[in-house]
Structure 1
Amino acid sequence: MKTFFKKMRGGEKSPPRKPFSKIAWSWLGAFMGIYLVSILSRLTHFNLLNSMFLVGSFGASAVLIYGVPQADLSQPRNLVGGHVISAFIGVTIYRYLSLDVAVLGALAVSLSIVAMHFARMLHPPGGATALIAVTGSAQVHSTGYLFVLSPIATGAFILLTVALFVNNLSGNPKRHYPRYWI
């Protein structure tokens, strides 16, 4: 039992803050990516807060693909695949199982993690996407499997396009995107 609690103490120090240039590039990418998704939302809906394109899990994706573009979890296959797999699972769970929403949410997230691992497309915001498919509004539920294509796949592709553009603008040879596609 002592060993169990000893693991929770950690043992390393926090890494130093990233240089201002990396922070600035992260800001630019996140701003542009979320702004473009928001503009698409505005063009398709009158009320931005009720818009289907502005999905909360995209904010977490922006942190990964613009803040740590070299991370495995940030690569294009993970970004797009993780969101699409998770949305599909979330919609399926909600549509075909008649259980309490707490159980449905837990199943959607946990099964999405398993599927993303097997597909080698682990993207943590995908868990949020699966949860949104289960706990979302009546508008989300009424779209059924179209939720997977729009807003999820469409929004992920917009974020990816901006990541390809912004992450390769820097003159720093270490800041490029992606590391791999397949």
Structure 2
Amino acid sequence: MTAPPQPARRDFPHLIRVTAFAIGALLVLVTVGGMLHQPLLIPPLAASAALVHGAPGLPLAQPRNVVGGHLLSAAVGFGTLAVAGSSTWSAAVAAGLSLGAMMLTHVSHSPATATAMIVVLQTPDPAPFLALLTLGAGLIVALGMLPGRIGRHPVRYPLSW
């Protein structure tokens, strides 16, 4: 019997850069979210940052999916809210519908299903919510590009737009 293969050794400076940029992006999001009274939007964007910074080669982490997935899921959330109102049941339906909509439009981004749920459960004002969501997703994508341009990076982000 042979021993299982050992995982590739991680580049410590790369890990530090990626971690620092992820923290920086999230601190900016927390600040802006607090100013706009939308702190609950941070968890799905934190999951997005984890994908962009930790697995930049995945299709789910590409800019079109990050930004498009969150915005489409928010739209599905607002639509569900208008039809079914705010409840845990309608939030679950919104999350499922957002997954289907993302798959249909080829912008799958799993953290965005939580965005649909947040819309239904928190009933935010659409204008500031969508502005913060767009800013947050765009910031995550922009900061996701920096580590690969500052030093060695195993995967240049983004792979596609």
Report if TM-score (shorter chain) is over 0.5. Answer: yes
d(CA) in 1 for partners of 2:127, 2:28: 20
State the partner residue of 1:64: 51
Q: 1:67 to 1:103 in 2, by over 3 A?
A: same
**Bigger helix fraction:** 2
Structure 1 vs Structure 2: percent identity of aligned residues?
A: 26
- Where does structure 1 lack aligned partners over 5 or more consecutive residues? 1-12, 46-50
Give the aligned partner of residue 7 of structure 2: 16
Q: Distance in 1 between matches of 2:150 and 2:132?
A: 27
- Confirm or deny: 8 A CA contact 2:95 2:113 kept in the other structure: yes
User: RMSD between aligned alpha carbons?
Assistant: 2.3
- 1:80, 1:97 → 2: CA distance? 25
Structure 1 residue 168 corresponds to structure 2 residue 152:
no
Match of 2:68 in 1: 81
Matched, 1:95 2:52: no
Give TM-score scaled by structure 1 length: 0.75
Question: Could you tell me which residue of structure 1 aligns to residue 159 of structure 2?
Answer: 179
Q: How many residues align?
A: 156
Asked if 1 retains the 8 angstrom alpha-carbon contact of 2:29 and 2:42, the reply is no
Is the contact between residue 102 and residue 108 of structure 2 (CA under 8 Å) also seen in structure 1? Answer: yes
Pick closer, same or farther for the CA change 1:18–1:62 going to 2, 3 Å.
farther
1:125 paired residue number: 111
| Structure 2 SS opposite 1:178 | coil
Q: TM-score, normalised by structure 2?
A: 0.84
- Give the structure 2 partner of residue 115 of structure 1: 101
Structure having the higher Rg = 1
Deviates more, 1:25-34 or 1:57-66: 25-34
Deviations 1:34-72 (CA, angstroms, capped at 9, x unpaired): 122223335x35xxxxx3165211110111000111111
Shift of 1:110: 0.7
